[in-house]
Amino acid sequence: MIFDILTLFPAMFASPFEESILGKARARGLVTVRVHNIRDHAEDRHQMADDRPFGGGEGMIMKPEPVVKALEAVRAEGPPAVAVLLSPQGELFSQSLAWEFSRLERLILICGRYEGVDERVVHFVDREVSIGDYILTGGELAAMVVVDAAARLIPGVLGNTASPEAESFREPILEYPQYTRPREFRGLRVPEVLLSGDHEAVRRWRRAEALRRTRIRRPDLFSRLKLSDEDRRLLQAAESEDDSGDQHAREVIG
């Protein structure tokens, strides 16, 4: 899959995409990330890509000409692509959207800056996306989030690790608590069921804990979850447990 990123600050992407899983995926040819400088398409010799807003106000606005020209130049490089403007006004980025993007042949991400992008740019993109209801200094960090979330879903990117199909947010539920060695840490013990070797008991415990955790911490997600009869039984049993040492350990570590 090809990711084309349009930005005023291309140097920001030098390190993040060279490390860890994404770096390995690029080396293996599973993912291509190309960063393009919007200023290269500015019309004046000073490469001005921003100007003051019409109607007054604070800050600067990214001009439409260099952004649209950069987009058109990148689109022309082929293959067909979906162009996304990273914007606070866009639809909220989610795991389902990451899955959708991961199935594309090419994705173009446009990073906004300053007080925003001239509204006319919206007419030249396919959609607008926001990674959350908070303010960043620019869309570069948002682009990194989108690339990371989508790229890791591409077959082969995660190598021999567990399939992303089983991860949190494939359905609207949080992941169950995870533990590793040592068995006891500062008086907090790993739940005995995880040491039992009973795979079915472990499965039920993990599902129950995922349900319980989602209901407590993310009721918005829990309200969208379709519970099976087994889910209801597991959740009822989990919520009726006494506040045992194991339960306390789950809350502290989780």
Q: Could you tell me the domains of the chain?
A: 2-151 (3.40.1280.10), 171-253 (1.10.1270.20)
> Annotation-wise, does 245 bind a ligand?
no
User: Was 132 annotated as part of a binding site?
Assistant: yes
Cα 49 from Cα 201, distance rounded (Å): 60
| Residues in contact with 101: Cβ distance below 8 Å, sequence separation at least 6, in sequence order | 82, 107, 146, 149, 150
Q: Global pTM?
A: 0.84
| Distance (Å, whole) CA 6 – CA 39 | 10
Annotated binding-site residue? 107: no
Q: Please compute the mean of the pLDDT values over residues 93-122 and round it to a whole number.
A: 96
Q: Is 136 annotated as a binding residue?
A: yes
User: Was 198 annotated as part of a binding site?
Assistant: no
Q: pLDDT tens digits, residue range 65-96?
A: 999 999 999 999 989 999 999 999 999 999 99
Per-residue buried b or exposed e for 84-100, using 16+ beta carbons within 10 Å of the residue's own CB: bbbbbebeebebebbbe
pLDDT in tens, 22-38: 999 999 999 999 999 99
Kindly report, residue by residue over 205-252, the tens digit of the pLDDT.
Answer: 999 999 999 999 999 999 999 999 999 999 999 888 744 544 554 454
